[in-house]
Structure 1
């Protein structure tokens, strides 16, 4: 969202409404990010077989030169 510079200087109701809208969006995004962080942390720290399988799936693949040894 963009607001004219004059609106900002005047501290108009439109400017205040724009700030409130953006603040609300930021709070919602932060809440979603916290939820993702918490889920990721719980998955990483759990001892379930699924967790171990997912960790292995994210291991880097060996280089092809390491696979073909003469």
Structure 2
């Protein structure tokens, strides 16, 4: 069973996002494909946000003011 990090979309022949949340495309998209992708990506973003919140940037985590 696929993880929530990737939702496979046979219409686009592509896993819309990889496990790091990067967009993956394997073919040219029509306007219908793009509309479908928008719907899927909203669902995916929701899953990704619920599952693992975005960690702070390393610069922010280790920030030390000068002086």
TM-score, normalised with respect to structure 1 = 0.34
Please tell me whether Structure 1 or Structure 2 has the larger radius of gyration of its CA atoms. Answer: 1
Structure with the largest fraction of helix: 1
Q: RCO (CA 8 Å, sep 6+): is it higher in 1 or 2?
A: 2
